[in-house]
Chain A
Amino acid sequence: MKRFVFATASTLAVVAGTSVLAEPQAEVLHWWTSGGEAKSVAVLQEEFAANGGSWTDMPVAGGGGDAAMTALRARVLSGNAPTAVQLKGPAIQEWYEEGVLADISSVAEAEGWAEVLPASIAGHMMCEGVWCAAPVNVHRVDWIWANADVLAANGIEMPTTWDEFNAAATKLMDAGVIPLAHGGQAWQDATVFEAVVLGIGGPEFYQKALVDLDPEALTSDTMVQVFDQMRMMRGYVDENFSGRDWNLATAMVMNGEAAFQIMGDWAKGEFLAAGKKPGEDFLCASTPGDGYLYNVDSFAMFDVDGDDKKAGQDLLAKLIVAPNFQKVFNLNKGSIPARTDVALDDFDICANLSAEDMGSTSAAGSLLPSYAHGMALRGSQSGAITDVVTAHFNSEMSSADAVQQLADAVANSY
């Protein structure tokens, strides 16, 4: 009870001036429906409720948010937008341009977000100079996960170059182990692809090819090499990979069927859930090469009517970026906090490594948005690239053809 009073008081303090009397209300559309994710959202909901808010949950799973985006579009068109929506990357700016997002600058300024968020991440939360979304976490995408026992048994070190990786893979195949656990879904193909682009081309090339869509970079020899490496990767994958969910691929690494998996740090949650220890049972490292590909989850607030809902948006935005939630949520989810002033003592070594790298790459200018997870490009552009990547990976297409198709597809999307 005491806590409730305290919470209410603090809420009043924050949202004073906007809508003091309305009970904060929020209908939250998201696609975090399973295990660890759902638990993470529950943390937010509890905090929200503790601050006097009433939370209506609207989960829509499937297709990495496709179904949720379908629902969102229908809701926005019907003039019945949800209060807050899980959105990320350039999609935030796209929605803002459609004129349907709310401005949450008052909260952001009151909370001093600009000081605690890395500049590149803060950039994703701004629309035409105003704050329009609240970041939840930072996922690193360019991870390579490995089964420690399998590597030890075959005398393999964690690879730091793609040549080393190829050598290790050959060795593993000879030993009858699947080198790469992979699920044949377009977004997983794209995840591997961007890691290879970053590794072989380097951060600058990545920026040119997959962020700026520079035609020269897209048709360069480097890109041909990237597709050559993708063809090699295809050989390291077992034949049942098609349509496999990523968590099943993770399980293959866990039980020693496969040695490596290239996947974002949500994979760690699977290892931890199975009782595996980082550094002992499984190993984490960035994929060969420099740079850091981030995938930042965030919530955008939609324009809604009613003081209660507006109060809910302000409260929600404040809670999301507040240190407590950032810590608890990311402990559950396997990612790291978006704000840099959260103590990472409770986090595991992988998360600490991720945070360290984020700091260093941010300074070096190689902290880059993940294209595969919708951070770098608009949907139609990233989709066009993914079409080519996945078509190449799943067929006998030559690297030269793939490069040509890639350039065409990018030119054809806009």
Chain B
Amino acid sequence: MSEWLENHLPKVVLAPSFIAVLIFVYGFIGWTAWVSLTRSKLLPKYEIKGFIQYERLFDSPRWDTAINNLYIFGALFIVIAMALGLLLAILLDQKIRVEGAIRTIYLYPMALSMIVTGTAWKWILNPGLGIESMVQGWGFTNFEFDWLVNPDYAIYTIVMAAIWQSSGFVMALFLAGLRSVDGEIIKAAQVDGIPTWRIYTAIIIPSMAPIFLSAFIVLAHLAIKSFDLVIALTGGGPGYATDLPATYMYAMAFSRGDIGQAASSAMIMMLVVFAIVVPYLYSELRAKND
């Protein structure tokens, strides 16, 4: 018995976590899939009615907006946060005197929930209270910055705040990457007389491919899960111009009492996540399985 335990201890240790994940992730996904096929309203029901909820979902203009917003938001957020994170990391890598302090300043937004900072952002972006009125107060009366209240641009304010929150973290990832690049290669390039910016673009950045991947995954997962951000900043408005799938799903499940509809939107979200994460997992585990 003890021999058996000794041999199987690793599996025994992993088992509770694995079983928990099976139930609390996959079981729940299965539950959601089931409910998405029912006409559940206030509380879940289990009588299958077919794909009616999906038909309703794809008929809903609000869902269209939410999905479009996810594309816009996701693409801009990921690209800009990565670019900004990389830029900041490179700037900080130039032997800056007060690097520790600046790094902390760039990183701290990650520590705060949007529930905490949302109100401040709302003020700053509000045309009557924040930047616009401030700049106009300086005498530039033509200055306009009314994105928050403009349905066509409000989604970009969400992007701004999201970048504010996450780019510091990306910066930290990239900084860590820069610091781990083999110094000899860089010395060799310097001896060859290659200018600094070329060293970055041709040698250092390409060697950080794994970090780009990690950053991408972290950001993609934040983008898909973005919820607090929208609730705190715009509440989905103006209108439902800044709705994202996560807020749509939440609204359906909890303020509309339309759980079947919420479940179907959740399943579509899961599909999007699946499409992004599975290739990553595949490459990650293949590369390291040699």
Q: Do chains A and B touch in the complex (CB under 8 A)?
A: yes
List chain A positions with a Cβ less than 8 A from chain B: 63-66, 69-70, 73, 76-77, 91, 94-95, 97-98, 100, 184-186, 189, 238-243, 378-380, 383, 387, 390-395, 405, 408-409, 412-413
Is B177 at the interface (CB under 8 A from chain A)? no
Contact of A379 among B148, B151, B257 (CB under 8 A): B257
Is B72 at the interface (CB under 8 A from chain A)? no
* A240 in contact with B255 (CB, 8 Å): no
Determine which residue in B43, B154, B253, B257 has the highest number of CB atoms from chain A within 10 A of its CB, and name it.
B257
Bound: A241/B43 CA distance, A: 35
Asked, given contacts A77-B43, A412-B56, whether A69 binds B237 with beta carbons under 8 Å apart, the answer is: no
Task: For B131, list chain A residues within 8 Å (CB).
Answer: none
Q: Nearest chain A CB to B76's CB is how many angstroms away?
A: 20
Contacts beyond the supplied A94-B257, A390-B238: 19 A-B pairs with Cβ under 8 Å: A66-B254, A69-B257, A239-B127, A240-B126, A240-B146, A240-B149, A242-B148, A242-B234, A243-B234, A379-B255, A379-B256, A379-B257, A380-B261, A383-B251, A387-B239, A387-B240, A391-B61, A394-B241, A413-B56
Contact of A394 among B129, B146, B151, B235 (CB under 8 A): B151
Bound: A393/B239 CA distance, A: 7
Cβ proximity bits B230-262 to A, threshold 8 Å, 1 near / 0 not: 010111111111000000001111111110010
Bound: A390/B129 CA distance, A: 23
Contact of B151 among A63, A395, A408 (CB under 8 A): A395
* A63 in contact with B148 (CB, 8 Å): no
Q: Give the number of chain B interface residues (Cβ < 8 Å).
A: 40
Task: For B225, list chain A residues within 8 Å (CB).
Answer: none
Contact of B154 among A242, A383, A412 (CB under 8 A): A242
Identify the 5 closest CB pairs spanning chains A and B, nearest first.
A242-B149, A240-B128, A394-B239, A394-B238, A379-B257
* Residue of chain B at shortest CB distance from A388: B61
Bound: A112/B41 CA distance, A: 34
Bound: A239/B148 CA distance, A: 11
Asked, given contacts A239-B146, A412-B56, whether A391 binds B257 with beta carbons under 8 Å apart, the answer is: no
Q: Nearest chain A CB to B230's CB is how many angstroms away?
A: 11
Q: Nearest chain B CB to A284's CB is how many angstroms away?
A: 26
* A395 in contact with B239 (CB, 8 Å): yes
Determine which residue in B41, B126, B231, B237 has the highest number of CB atoms from chain A within 10 A of its CB, and name it.
B237
* A379 in contact with B258 (CB, 8 Å): yes
Is B83 at the interface (CB under 8 A from chain A)? no
Is B122 at the interface (CB under 8 A from chain A)? yes
Asked, given contacts A63-B231, A94-B42, A395-B151, whether A383 binds B255 with beta carbons under 8 Å apart, the answer is: yes
Task: For B146, list chain A residues within 8 Å (CB).
Answer: 239-240
> Which residues of chain B from 122 to 174 have a CB within 8 Å of any chain A CB?
122, 126-129, 146, 148-151, 154
Task: For A240, list chain B residues within 8 Å (CB).
Answer: 126-129, 146, 149
Task: For B251, list chain A residues within 8 Å (CB).
Answer: 66, 383
Is B59 at the interface (CB under 8 A from chain A)? yes
Task: For B62, list chain A residues within 8 Å (CB).
Answer: 387, 391
Is B190 at the interface (CB under 8 A from chain A)? no
* B122 in contact with A243 (CB, 8 Å): yes
Q: Nearest chain B CB to A378's CB is how many angstroms away?
A: 7
Asked, given contacts A239-B127, A242-B149, A378-B257, whether A76 binds B239 with beta carbons under 8 Å apart, the answer is: no
Asked, given contacts A98-B43, A185-B237, whether A91 binds B257 with beta carbons under 8 Å apart, the answer is: yes
Task: For B129, list chain A residues within 8 Å (CB).
Answer: 240
* A186 in contact with B240 (CB, 8 Å): yes
Bound: A373/B244 CA distance, A: 24
Q: Nearest chain B CB to A386's CB is how many angstroms away?
A: 9
* Residue of chain B at shortest CB distance from A397: B239
* Residue of chain B at shortest CB distance from A386: B240
Q: Nearest chain B CB to A380's CB is how many angstroms away?
A: 4
* B237 in contact with A73 (CB, 8 Å): no
* Residue of chain B at shortest CB distance from A68: B254
* Residue of chain A at shortest CB distance from B39: A414
Asked, given contacts A76-B43, A405-B61, whether A243 binds B257 with beta carbons under 8 Å apart, the answer is: no
Q: Nearest chain A CB to B114's CB is how many angstroms away?
A: 13
Q: Nearest chain A CB to B152's CB is how many angstroms away?
A: 8
Cβ proximity bits B56-84 to A, threshold 8 Å, 1 near / 0 not: 10011110000000000000000000000
* Residue of chain A at shortest CB distance from B261: A380
Asked, given contacts A394-B151, A405-B61, A412-B56, whether A243 binds B235 with beta carbons under 8 Å apart, the answer is: yes
* A241 in contact with B56 (CB, 8 Å): no
Task: For B237, list chain A residues within 8 Å (CB).
Answer: 184-186, 242-243, 390, 394
* A380 in contact with B41 (CB, 8 Å): yes
Task: For B234, list chain A residues within 8 Å (CB).
Answer: 242-243
Bound: A184/B146 CA distance, A: 14
Bound: A412/B258 CA distance, A: 12
Would you mind naming 11 contact pairs between A and B with Cβ atoms under 8 Å apart?
A63-B231, A77-B43, A77-B44, A91-B42, A95-B42, A239-B146, A239-B149, A240-B149, A243-B234, A380-B257, A394-B239
* A243 in contact with B239 (CB, 8 Å): no
Determine which residue in B44, B59, B146, B235 has the highest number of CB atoms from chain A within 10 A of its CB, and name it.
B235
Bound: A240/B146 CA distance, A: 8
Asked, given contacts A94-B41, A383-B256, A394-B151, whether A243 binds B126 with beta carbons under 8 Å apart, the answer is: yes
Q: Nearest chain A CB to B37's CB is how many angstroms away?
A: 16
Bound: A98/B233 CA distance, A: 34
Task: For A392, list chain B residues within 8 Å (CB).
Answer: 239
Task: For A186, list chain B residues within 8 Å (CB).
Answer: 235-237, 239-240
* B148 in contact with A243 (CB, 8 Å): yes
Q: Nearest chain B CB to A127's CB is how many angstroms away?
A: 13
Determine which residue in A76, A243, A383 has the highest number of CB atoms from chain B within 10 A of its CB, and name it.
A243
Bound: A392/B148 CA distance, A: 17
* B239 in contact with A391 (CB, 8 Å): yes
Task: For B41, list chain A residues within 8 Å (CB).
Answer: 94, 378, 380
* B240 in contact with A390 (CB, 8 Å): yes
* A184 in contact with B238 (CB, 8 Å): yes
Q: Nearest chain A CB to B51's CB is how many angstroms away?
A: 14
Contact of B235 among A94, A185, A379 (CB under 8 A): A185
Task: For A412, list chain B residues within 8 Å (CB).
Answer: 56, 59-60
* B236 in contact with A241 (CB, 8 Å): no
Task: For B258, list chain A residues within 8 Å (CB).
Answer: 379-380, 383, 413
Bound: A94/B237 CA distance, A: 28
